[in-house]
Every structure is written in C-alpha cells, then in structure tokens.
Structure 1
Amino acid sequence: MKKVLITGANKSIGYETTRQLLQNGYYVYLGSRNLENGLKAVEKLKAEGLTHVEVIQLDVTNDESVKLARIEIGKKTEVLDVLINNAGINGGWPQAALEASIDQFKQVFDTNVYGVARVTQAFIDLLKKSEQPRIVNVSSSGCSLTLHCDPSWKYYTHKAAVYPASKAALNMYTINLAYELRDTPFKVNAVCPGFVATDFNGHRGTGTVQEAGTRISKYAMIGDDGPTGKFISEEHNPETGECPW
C-alpha cells in the first residue's frame, strides 16, 4: 500500500484529496497544524469506511514540529511514496503593492514557500526509498506571470501583491526541485486545484472541492510516463493541463 503525507489536510481541498487517495487505496498521513482538528477529520473519514488514515501534528512554519512529524512517520514506515504540499494561507486582504505590510509578506511566505521547502527537505529521505516517488506542490494559476501580463485574461484585474508572489516563488522552487531530481524516478509538479469555493476565498470560487481533489490526486498517482517539472492548471487549459509560468 502506497503511503502519502498531505499537509493542511484537515479541511477543504486537503481533506477532499485525502478522501480521494484513500478511495484509491493509499494510506494517508493527514497533516494538521491543530491536532484536535486533525483527529476530527480522521473520525469523519473512518465513519465513511476509509480507515487507512491517521493524523500527524504538523505546523509547516515550525522547525521542531516538522522534525517531530518526520520522527513520528519514520517510526511507522521506511518509505513515503507521495508528498502533497497543500498547506497554505492567503495573508488577508487588501494586498496592494504599495500598502501590504512586510509582516503580511513574511507570514505568507513562511507557510507557502519556506514551509514547503522545510517539509520537502525533512521527508526527502523517505521519498527517495519509494519506487515511484511523487511530489505535488499545490499552486495557483493566479500566480502566472504570463497570464497576469495579459489584459485579455479573465482574471487580469484580480491583482494582489502577496499571495500570488508566494505561489510564483513556490513554482520556482518546484522547477529547481524537479531539475535536481531529473535523473531519478521522481515526478515533481506544481498543480493548481482551480478557483474553488472554500473558506480560503470566502466561498467566492466557482469550482468544487471534489474537482480540486481530483486534479491534485491525479498528479499524485501519475505513472512513469507522467510529466515532471510542470505547472498544471486543468481549469485554465483543459486540453493539455499546462499553465504558462
């Protein structure tokens, strides 16, 4: 049974991704910053008959928390097949370039960029022991530099200085990570779940968590012929899935 760690998995897209991977026969370590919330999520999943899941307390912004999570999972398995870096924050609004506070930038980057690097580096040894290791970094088409420079893009006027910048930085980290692992079985991709109605955006999104979970799970489960080092947004490009950087 393949094993996967999903950060920020106690609700919304992370929770739905957990459900879908459980349905596909994976064992899931459900990462949750708040242990109680994680336990409640696990209870709900087990009530559905999805039993191959357990919570791992994991705050991606805290070195000690990540180290302890690595120790805990290391006691349970010698191999991790998939890492989904899903935990993220938007930093609050407004996010005007001339008004957003430095504290906003620091807080968002600490979770969305440094947190991903922190967790990936902590668990890379277990991932390297997998025959088909996969890393999915949950990104956003809203961080595409190309699209944001295109006045014809439907979200052209949806500008924000902080959150998209963090995801653009995450994309560059993904590119470098995929490059460093290019001669290995790893598949490393940045995947946009779509503009999904969740607490994250005040339920303004037009997509569903089910659609988002399917998009992320797909790239967690890709075969040896699957892509790596790509920026995927099936909402933006239903045909190829690729999104411009």
Structure 2
Amino acid sequence: MPMLVDVSLLPTATTRGKIIVPANRIALVTGANQGMGRQVAEKLAADGVAVYVGSRDLARGKEVAAQIGAGASALQLDVTDTASVAAAADQIRTDAGRLDLLVNNAAISTTRTGPFAMVDRRALARVSTAPLDEMRSVWEVNVFGVLTVYQAMLPLLRESPHARIVNVTSALGSLTLAADPHSGLRSTFEPIYSASKTALNAVTLAMMIELEETDIKVNLVSPGFARTALVNFEGTESVEDAAREIVRVASLGPDGPTGTFTTWDGVPLPW
C-alpha cells in the first residue's frame, strides 16, 4: 500500500508495532478533488502537512494529488457510502496510525447537473415546493456524510497528540441571521441547502460538547462566497480568498481555540 510520506526522510518518525508513524501532521480533506477542498489541501501540503485528498472519484483524486505534488495522496472517499468511509479510515490507520486534522469539506447544493443559475435553484427550493428527494440527497452529503466521516475517523483522531476537526459550513445556515428581518441572508434561507447547513451546525455543536473534555479541538468555518461549482461559479470571491479562514483554523496549533464559528475573514458568526 502506498505510504503517505517517505518516512526515510523523517528521522524523528517513530514506530507503533509494525505501523510507521510519520512525524509531520496527517490531514484528511473531504471533497478535495476540486474547488474549496482542493485549495485547502494544496495550502496545507505547501505548509508541510501530509494531506489525504479525499475524492469520491479516485482517478480525479490521483490527478489532483499529482498536481499538488509532495505531501498529497489520493484517497477514495464517498461520504454517503459507509463502506467507502470505513475503508478510508482503515487505509489511514495502515499508512499512518493516526489522524491529526480532519477537514469536513465535501458538500453539494443540488443534485441537478449542468449549468443551473442560483436564482433558479432558490426558486425551486421554496418550502412549499422543494423536491423531497433532492432535499434528502443534499442532507445525505452535507449532514449525514459529515457525521459518518466523524464517527469513522474519531478513533484515529484520538491517536493524535493534538487533533483538530474543521467543519465547513455556510453563514446561510445561521438561524440567528435567518430570523433577523434586517439580515441580507434572510431571503435566501430555504430547506434544502441552507437548512442542511443549519443541521450541520447543530451536529458540530454536538461534537464540540462531546469532545470538550478531550484534547481534540473542533471549529466551524463559513468560507467566502467563492466562484466554485457548488454555486454555479457565481461567487464573488476567489477560491484563495474564500478558503483562507479554513486554512488558518486548520493550521492552528494545540493551544489554538476550539468551539469557534467564524466567517471567511475571521469574524465570529452567530449560531
């Protein structure tokens, strides 16, 4: 099985049984074969982190990992497939024996394919007309997928001396902002994508509470409105700018804060 890093180059690496434990940090970024996830994986790798590029399509993951270069390794990972997630966890355990950083980035906004303007997506996502099958599919990725990955990777995170989980959400999921008549985000709140992020926020809060007596840190980040496929490339920020808070929080050391919920420019967000 391919090793994540060349341990011969790491004189401080140690062994646990027959497993080689690399000395540098080990990260998994889900949905890392494009967009925000790819940007985060690339930045982490550039900072010396050994990064698993989680990708539902392994071939695409390998292509991106090769483009990122040293420190990146493709990992087949479909967050909606429990067998795929379990296999990914087994691979990381075999390769490295632990996980230091988990970035739950994989998400979808619709199941529709091809160009589909955001205004049309929102029109079809009204509570009175939202297709329930599409809602279930989006929630399967954005909510249950994150929970599935969390449960599978938690034993590996517990093996780390200072682990961190970063869940990527959206300000659209803030109930406080949606309930505020003066908020510009109020009119965009709908039950498919927005509410899936509300549910993700709630799941993340539950993670924070579960792990608050441990050394595992949990953070929630709403990236910028980036020009990615998730929003039909209608975003207003570059992927580099939009992803910077994810990278910053993911790069925090063991003394960095836990339990935070921040925007792409580092401003605290209301739940």
The answer to whether TM tops 0.5 is yes
| Contact persistence 1:141–1:194 (CA under 8 A) | no
Match of 2:101 among 77, 82, 85: 82
Structure 1, unmatched stretches of 5+, are none
Compute the displacement of 1:226 (Å). Answer: 2.5
Q: Secondary structure at the match of 2:75?
A: strand
Is the 2:224–2:243 Cα contact (8 Å) retained in structure 1? no
Choose 1 or 2 for highest CA Rg.
2
CA shift for structure 1 position 234: 3.8
Residue type matched to 1:189 in 2? N
**TM-score w.r.t. length of structure 2:** 0.84
Q: Give, in angstroms, the shift of residue 233 of structure 1.
A: 1.2
Task: Report how many residues are paired.
Answer: 237
Superposed counterparts of 1:171-210, under 5 Å: 171-210=201-240
Q: Is the Cα contact below 8 Å between 2:226 and 2:242 reproduced in 1?
A: yes
CA contact (8 A) 2:45 2:68 kept: no
Q: Aligned residue for 1:243?
A: 269
2:196 to 166, 184, 195: 166
Q: Contact 1:20/1:214 (CA < 8 Å) preserved in 2?
A: no
Runs of 5+ unmatched residues, structure 2: 1-23, 113-120
- In structure 1, the partner of 2:162 is 132
Q: Which residue is equivalent to 1:154?
A: 184
2:30 is aligned to 7
Residue 208 of structure 1 and its aligned partner are, at CA, apart by 1.3
Deviation per residue, 1:25-53 (Å, 9 max, x gap): 1000000001111111112112xxxx111
Segment drifting more, 112-121 vs 222-231: 222-231
| TM-score between the two structures when normalised by the length of structure 1 | 0.93
Other-structure match for 1:144 = 174
Counterpart residue type for residue 243 of structure 1: L
Could you tell me the percent identity over the aligned residues? 38
